[in-house]
Amino acid sequence: MFTLDRQGRGTLVDQIYEGVQGLIHVGHWPVGARLPSVRRLASDLDVSIFTVSSAYSRLVSDGVLFSRVGAGFFVALPKPEILNAEHPGAVQRPDCAANVVLNAVDLGRYAVPAGSGFLPEDWLEDAIPPAVVGRLMRQEVSISTPVSVMGLPLLREQIASRLANIRINAQPTQIVTTCGATHAFSLVSGMLLGPGDTVVVEEPGYMMHKAQLVKTGASIVSVPRMADGPDLDMLEAVAKQYRPKALVIQPVLHNPTGLTLSPACAYRLLMLAERYGFYVIEDDVFGSLCTERNLRLSSLDGLSRVFYISSFTKVLSPALRVGFVACPPAFCEPIIEAKILSVQHSSSLQETIVAHVLRSGRYQAHLSALRGRILRAHSAARLALSEVGVAFDGPPNDGLFLWGRLGAQVDIDGLIDAAFRDGIFLLRGTLFSVRGDFERHMRFNIGYSSDPRLCALLDRFRVGVASESMATDARARKRQA
């Protein structure tokens, strides 16, 4: 039998748990053997019955023991080996939308996550203090009660109030909460589109949109994203030819370019939507990071043809999957039905946390600090990348991303491979293209792109490849001479 250390070597429950496991491991109690009763072991070790019962319960939960009512506790068959949950397994290179997400949510394996779509962790650490979560769990959240399928009423009211601030008139009854913006997009696109339909996307555009649209069976046609919005002449030509069911657009701080839709472009785009009868899915997940007030299509359209999607995940915490869609009234019921069939309902805990942050005023202060931080990081990242040969197609803009172009001499495949080996997360531009264009572009997260390790890698490939090319030319000239 084992002895207990009462001077502080772990709790008594932990020591009994480990002691029983140790005796089973050395064969003192073989498989099927009956252990001492709770009362007997408590007496032998001079501890309470509750202490032994807690240790035995943990051993049953972990599959070390099993119990029989009225008979006691017995040694269970050994379980097959289970890898630790943190075991990395085979790391997939970020070469498609799904693998990008796999890498993006496992940023611990990257020293420099320059291709990530998330803000740096320390930028968000004050957004939701742990004390708030604890207080809400004690006072406001009923863990045993599911939230309304439309979403927490308090949160939908807060969302409606905030949408009014950007001139979007949406009643709480037009708002359905979701498990993030990706979920919202899946609900809307799945409801609107199917085989035989055509959907128009921007080029370049967010990679997850393309991946999700493929699942609908609809045909995907792209139009170029210009400095002030999509190429409207091309959009009209596409609308005439294909009669699309929907257009997907990120109007403010477009991913990956960081560009923002102009008012003139917004007005004409909605005229085309009316003329050719297509809906607009407006994805505005980054709009709250913009330092200037910008026009949304939903505010002009009045949620007649436009579905407005956004999320709190980017600006509060990646651990909070809380998004929403504000939709034309006739589509609320189909979206609710689709939500029920996908997740049944949202998390009351997560939605209450977000509602509390919005109501407390902390959210606006957090956004203000975040915008200032982004502006400073944006300038620093653009300068650092420019110095190692990354070119940018337009003047400085705003937001989380820089859309950079590498020189013709850079070996893109070699750079991606070297970055992966060195723990630097990079995304090639082709991931953001329906047609596989933008081979020499990359999306850079401004929160990580001033890092000397990234800049050194980019500089090495710029200089290394150029030097190798010059040396090859010199050797050729020498042979000719």
- Residues 114, 153: one domain? no
Q: What CATH number should be reported for the domain holding residue 386?
A: 3.90.1150.10
- Residues 117, 139: one domain? no
**3-state DSSP helix/strand/coil % of the chain, to nearest 5:** 50, 15, 40
* Number of C-beta neighbours around residue 11 at 10 A: 12
Residues 390-416, mean pLDDT to the nearest whole number: 91
* Last residue in a domain, options 303, 332, 360: 360
pLDDT of residue 104: 67
Is there a domain that residue 82 lies in? no
- Residues 206, 316: one domain? yes
Find, among 389, 405, 409, the residue nearest to 459 by Cα.
389
Q: Compute CA distances 221 → 227, 241, 245, whole Å.
A: 20, 11, 11
Report the number of distinct structural domains present in the chain: 3
pLDDT of residue 162: 94
Which is it for strands 401-405 and 391-392: parallel, antiparallel or unpaired?
Answer: antiparallel
Q: Compute CA distances 333 → 182, 189, 336, 338, 473, whole Å.
A: 19, 15, 5, 9, 67
- Residues 30, 52: one domain? yes
Tens digit of pLDDT for each residue in 28-53?
Answer: 999 999 999 999 999 999 999 999 99
Q: What is the DSSP string of 369-380?
A: HHHHHHHHHHHH
pLDDT of 259 > 60? The answer is: yes
Find, among 323, 338, 326, the residue nearest to 301 by Cα.
326
Nearest-angstrom CA–CA distance, 150 and 175: 7
Q: What CATH number should be reported for the domain holding residue 181?
A: 3.40.640.10
Nearest-angstrom CA–CA distance, 17 and 55: 5
Would the pTM count as exceeding 0.95?
no
Is there a domain that residue 397 lies in? yes
Tens digit of pLDDT for each residue in 346-378?
Answer: 888 889 889 888 888 788 889 999 999 999 999
Q: What CATH number should be reported for the domain holding residue 59?
A: 1.10.10.10
- Residues 256, 300: one domain? yes
- Residues 200, 237: one domain? yes
- Residues 116, 141: one domain? no
- Non-local CB neighbours of 167 within 8 Å, separated by 6+ positions: 295, 296, 299
Is there a domain that residue 352 lies in? yes
- Residues 52, 139: one domain? no
- Residues 40, 114: one domain? no
Residues 407-434, mean pLDDT to the nearest whole number: 92
Helix (H, G, I), strand (E, B) or coil at 103: helix
Tens digit of pLDDT for each residue in 41-90?
Answer: 999 999 999 999 999 999 999 999 999 988 999 999 987 765 555 545 55
Domain range enclosing 28: 12-75
Q: Compute CA distances 347 → 145, 146, 158, 177, 362, whole Å.
A: 10, 7, 17, 10, 21
Which element (helix H / strand E) includes 323?
strand 323-326
Is there a domain that residue 60 lies in? yes
- Residues 117, 173: one domain? no
Percent of the chain with pLDDT over 90: 72
Tokens 């019962």: give the residue.
53
Residues 247-251, mean pLDDT to the nearest whole number: 97
* Last residue in a domain, options 360, 380, 406: 360
- Residues 156, 226: one domain? yes
| Cis amide linkage into residue 244, ω under 30° from 0 | no
pLDDT of 476 > 50? The answer is: no
What's the mean per-residue pLDDT of the chain?
A: 89
Is there a domain that residue 83 lies in? no
Is there a domain that residue 70 lies in? yes
Evaluate whether 205 touches 281 at the Cβ level (below 8 Å).
Answer: no
Find, among 406, 454, 448, the residue nearest to 430 by Cα.
406
Helix (H, G, I), strand (E, B) or coil at 453: helix
CA atoms within 13 A on the CB side of 38: 17
Which element (helix H / strand E) includes 130?
helix 130-139
Task: Give first-to-last CA distance, the chain, whole Å.
Answer: 89
pLDDT of residue 474: 42
Is there a domain that residue 1 lies in? no
Residue type, 161: S
Tens digit of pLDDT for each residue in 135-168?
Answer: 666 665 555 677 889 999 999 999 999 999 999 9
Is there a domain that residue 6 lies in? no
Indicate the angle between helix axes 130-139 and 348-360, nearest 10 degrees.
120
- Residues 159, 108: one domain? no
